């Protein structure tokens, strides 16, 4: 078992949520490298590997149904072509989202957000649901994704919404203020605290390379959760753990057990 990130910080309630509810290690895109990203198979793989938490991305179909997918276009991870935002749900649901990864996953469908959240509830997973709007649909995506997540949250599924889009997070806040939110950034901006306050967010998620130890300490001292993506190096994992970072996203399912 790896010695992994641990925080000795006393948990602080932010917006009524204890950020210590974050698992220290989160499977990126469901199952990291081991299974096709953003699929039910990926979520099962993350769980089977021993992860208590998973992250995945949600985007709207042309007719407004949230599906799990990272890119705005279908080509890289599915058998479809063109823009996700120009493709209706019935077509998205018919695509193969596993064949690109490996033969074992041929036929794995592109899942709806609803199906993914139901699986997480069944498996007892903690969820970081990243709102991934296609360009121009930021507020709509935030509102619909938060509305889809809200009943799961109300039923006890531990869940944090995050997004690079502040417009999406603001729409999520208006649609379902009770569902916790995190601001996602690449590099921590100088005005991180004002942004978190404006969004009534519980945490900041950032690229691990865009964080200094001093900034990490300041964010944690202010009572916010702090999560870093995507950490695939054991040494870096240990360093960020020593800094007290609340949670780390990884593609390396073999890192399970670090918490
Ligand atoms: O939510 C953390 C991470 O997933 C953000 O980056 O591009 O992998 O969605 P990306
Ligand atoms: Mg993501």
The string of pLDDT tens digits covering residues 211-247 is: 999 999 999 999 999 999 999 999 999 999 999 999 9
- Residue 153 annotated as catalytic: no
**How many angstroms separate the CA atoms of 29 and 253, rounded?**
11
Spatial contact of 247 and 7, defined as CB atoms under 8 Å apart: no
The three-state secondary structure class of 240 is helix
pLDDT bin (cut points 50, 70, 90) of residue 13 is very low
Report the pLDDT value the prediction gives residue 210, as an integer from 0 to 100: 87
How far apart CA 243 and CA 48 sit, in angstroms, is 28
The active-site residue out of 28, 101, 153, 208 is 28
Going through 47-136 in order, the beta strands assigned E by DSSP cover: 53-60, 66-68, 126-131
Residue 150 has pLDDT above 90, yes or no: yes
The mean pLDDT of 163-181, rounded to a whole number, is: 97
Q: Is 28 a catalytic residue?
A: yes
Quick one: pLDDT band at residue 257, thresholds 50, 70, 90? confident
Q: From 57, 162, 231, give the residue whose CB has the most ligand 1 atoms within 8 Å, as the site to mutate.
A: 57
Which of 148-163 are b and which e, b meaning 16 or more Cβ less than 10 Å from the residue's Cβ?
bbbebbeeebbbbbbb
Atom 5 of ligand 1, nearest CA residue: 229
State whether the beta carbon of 70 lies less than 6 angstroms from ligand 1. Answer: yes
Whether the model pTM is above 0.85: yes
Q: DSSP character for 83? A: B
Residue 216: half-sphere exposure toward Cβ, Cα within 13 Å: 23
| 21 pLDDT tier (thresholds 50, 70, 90) | confident
- Residue 9, Cβ neighbours under 10 Å: how many? 15
End-to-end CA distance of the chain: 9
Q: Which two tokens stand for residue 15?
A: 């917006």
């Amino acid at each position: 078992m790896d010695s992994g990130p641990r925080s000795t910080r006393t948990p602080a309630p932010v917006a009524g949520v204890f950020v210590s509810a974050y698992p220290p290690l989160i499977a990126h895109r469901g199952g990291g490298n081991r299974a096709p990203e953003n699929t039910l198979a990926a979520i099962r793989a993350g769980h089977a590997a021993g992860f208590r938490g998973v992250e995945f991305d949600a985007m709207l179909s042309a007719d407004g149904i949230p599906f799990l997918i990272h890119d705005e276009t279908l080509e890289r991870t599915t058998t479809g072509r063109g823009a996700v935002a120009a493709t209706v749900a019935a077509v998205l649901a018919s695509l193969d989202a596993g064949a690109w990864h490996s033969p074992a996953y041929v036929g794995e469908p592109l899942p709806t957000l609803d199906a993914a959240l139901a699986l997480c509830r069944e498996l007892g997973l903690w969820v970081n649901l990243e709102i991934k709007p296609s360009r121009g649909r930021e507020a709509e995506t935030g509102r619909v994704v938060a509305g889809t997540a809200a009943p799961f949250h109300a039923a006890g599924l531990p869940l944090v919404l995050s997004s690079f889009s502040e417009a999406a997070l603001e729409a999520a806040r208006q649609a379902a203020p009770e569902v916790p939110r995190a601001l996602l950034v690449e590099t921590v901006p100088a005005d991180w605290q004002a942004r978190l306050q404006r969004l009534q967010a519980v945490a900041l998620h950032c690229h691990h390379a865009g964080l200094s130890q001093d900034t990490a300490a300041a964010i944690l001292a202010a009572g916010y959760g702090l999560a870093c993506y995507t950490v695939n190096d054991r040494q870096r994992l240990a360093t960020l753990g020593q800094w007290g970072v609340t949670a780390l996203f990884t593609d390396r399912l073999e890192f399970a057990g670090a918490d």
